[in-house]
Amino acid sequence: MFSTLGISTTAEAVYMTMLRHSTWGVAEIAESLGVSAREVHDALDELIELALVRESSVNPGNLRPTSPKVGLAALLARAKADIAQQQYEIEATQAAIDALSEAHQVDHQDQLIQIVQLDGVRQRLEQLARLTQVECLSFNPGGAHRPDAMAASKPVNQEALERGVSIKSIYQESFRNDPDTLAYARWFNSLGGETRCVPVVLFQMVIVDRSIALLPVDPTDARKGAIEIHNPGITAALSSLFDHAWSTATPLGHAATTDENGLEPAERQLLQLLGDGYTDDATARKLGLSVRTVQRMMSDLTTRLGAESRFQAGANAVRQRWL
């Protein structure tokens, strides 16, 4: 019923039960819903993060549900604000595209070209690979890569590397979990290519000789085509973005570096995402991992932080300056 507000099915059931039986404890709620006590504790952590459950002022140490009129209304208002912000960003993006299109009409040298459908993008990438003189830079989001995409890029990358072109690729850490994609990256490195990893790659990108950039029309679906950019200001900014990511990324074959608290980059990113209110499902999609892997990592972090719940782990992470 309330999944659009970011509430999981179990957490919603626990919340509704607490509204009906405010004196029940964890064991009684678990028995009523037919779930484990651990699942109830996890649901309570989620409800605390959403401000739907808070400590009782009458019975310190006990939890009480927040009034639906207050708690759910606040979540609904937040959801509406998120939609309004998303609409604003869409309109701003449309305005930017319109401005770039107008600039293209005025000055052909600063052109913006739309390439429709995936086959068109692959054909253009093959053309650009043969035209590349110095270097090719790329962002590669997600975990496992499509077999057909790897097969299509293999001869193109090999030909460019044999001509002495420098190719640098940044992958998302989770690609290591797919044997085929990992084998492809190792083959690529064996020919002289360079591969590094970061916890999250937000979008796909290819930059050729720091003068031409290809970005997806829709970052969530590469099959919809790409935008080819020649504007020097934009390509310089995108190249700087790549350089910064490259300087902080971990080379393939090297263990991820840990910070002073022993956190790997993916662990720090996980804590930040959960601290920002992301659910396990949303966090898994962002990191390109399975929900079970995210839960296992969070369980390990909870233990290392000396916490008994996710909510306490978040508080301890801030207190111990892990975030």
Per-residue confidence (pLDDT) for residue 215, from 0 to 100: 93
Domain assignment of residue 285, given as a range: 258-319
Per-residue confidence (pLDDT) for residue 137, from 0 to 100: 96
Residues of the chain with pLDDT under 70: 57, 61, 100-110, 143-144, 253-259, 323
Q: Are residues 140 and 88 in the same domain?
A: no
Q: Are residues 147 and 221 in the same domain?
A: yes
- Count CB-CB contacts under 10 A for residue 173: 22
For residue 246, give the CATH number of its domain.
3.30.870.10
- Residue closest to 93 by CA, chosen among 237, 231, 276, 227: 227
Q: Are residues 190 and 273 in the same domain?
A: no
Q: Are residues 265 and 233 in the same domain?
A: no
Q: What is the domain count for the chain?
A: 3
Contact 21, 28 (CB under 8 A): yes
Model-level pTM?
0.52
Q: Are residues 203 and 144 in the same domain?
A: yes
Single out the residue in 251, 286, 310 at which a domain terminates. Answer: 251
Per-residue confidence (pLDDT) for residue 102, from 0 to 100: 63
Single out the residue in 105, 129, 160 at which a domain terminates. Answer: 105
What one-letter code names the amino acid at 136? C
For residue 297, give the CATH number of its domain.
1.10.10.10
> Tens of pLDDT along 275-289?
777 788 887 777 777
Q: Are residues 246 and 288 in the same domain?
A: no
Q: Are residues 114 and 98 in the same domain?
A: no
Measured CA to CA, the distance from residue 183 to residue 212 in angstroms comes to 29
What one-letter code names the amino acid at 313? A
Per-residue confidence (pLDDT) for residue 101, from 0 to 100: 66
Single out the residue in 229, 251, 273 at which a domain terminates. Answer: 251
Alpha helices, DSSP H, located in the chain: 9-20, 26-33, 37-49, 68-106, 117-131, 147-162, 179-190, 232-248, 265-275, 280-287, 291-304, 310-319
Q: Are residues 183 and 72 in the same domain?
A: no
